[in-house]
Amino acid sequence: MSDDTPRPSLLPANSSPLERALDLGFARLLERIDPSFPELMNPAKTPLAFLPYLGADRGVSEWSTEATEAEKRLTVELAWPTARQAGTRKALENAAKGLQLMPEVRAWYEQTPPGPRYSFSVRAFTEQPYSEEIDARLDRRLADAKSERDTLKVSVGLSAFGSHVIGAATVCGELTTVYPIVIEGLEASGQAFMAAGLYTVETSTIYPQGS
């Protein structure tokens, strides 16, 4: 665009030469600026320092300043889908995924035997260290994602692969929140759970052959 090309202006017809000159000069300065708005509103590309503000803009109510960058970006990314689908299975899954958990959600009619009406069983697996703080944060996110009539039974476990040690164990009782357990020496793969509720354990020692 040449300097002689007319530019759109909001100035009135009776504007002064100085006003027109300032309008023209500022227009040239603005043309040098690359607009940052598209990337600024993208959770995956926005600067880390702007993430809390973008989260507030999207209605994120559960936020931790100590969380990893990946968790913060995922939380903001899933904020709108979770709010739009609140009260559904997908919203409950998104609530757990925002904390970098791998959820498995089952409605009352999918359980054996069927659970109470309008209840959900939420099992979440993690490969990261788990704590009571994350447990409380998960509860708050699930409370925001469910409908008023829904009730939830939540358990969290560690996805464990490798060698662990235990003889033989039988666990029975009522389980509430579940925390990760790491057992040395026992070959296992898949999900391992340790109950934080009421349970009893019966063990028998396994000795190596030849001892």
pLDDT in tens, 10-48: 888 899 999 988 988 888 887 777 777 888 999 999 999
Q: Name the DSSP class of 26.
A: H
Range from 108-117, 120-129, 154-163 carrying the lowest mean pLDDT: 154-163
- The per-residue pLDDT for 170 is 36
Query: Regarding predicted confidence, which is higher, 1 or 131?
Result: 131
Residue 211 clears pLDDT 90, i.e. is over it: no
Label residue 144 left, alpha or beta by phi (over 0 means left) and psi (-120 to 50 means alpha): alpha
Query: Regarding predicted confidence, which is higher, 75 or 182?
Result: 75
Distance CA 22, CA 159 (A): 64
- Sign of CA pseudo-dihedral 155, 58, 31, 47: negative
User: pTM of the prediction?
Assistant: 0.63
Contact between 83 and 59 under an 8 Å Cβ cutoff? The reply is yes
% residues pLDDT > 70 (the chain): 71
Q: What is the mean pLDDT of the chain?
A: 77
- Sign of CA pseudo-dihedral 81, 86, 91, 95: positive
- The per-residue pLDDT for 29 is 84
Contact between 121 and 93 under an 8 Å Cβ cutoff? The reply is no
- The per-residue pLDDT for 3 is 57
Range from 76-80, 128-132, 175-179 carrying the lowest mean pLDDT: 175-179
Q: What is the dihedral of CA 70, 145, 105, 160, to 10 degrees?
A: 30
Contacts of 65 (CB under 8 A, 6+ apart): 52
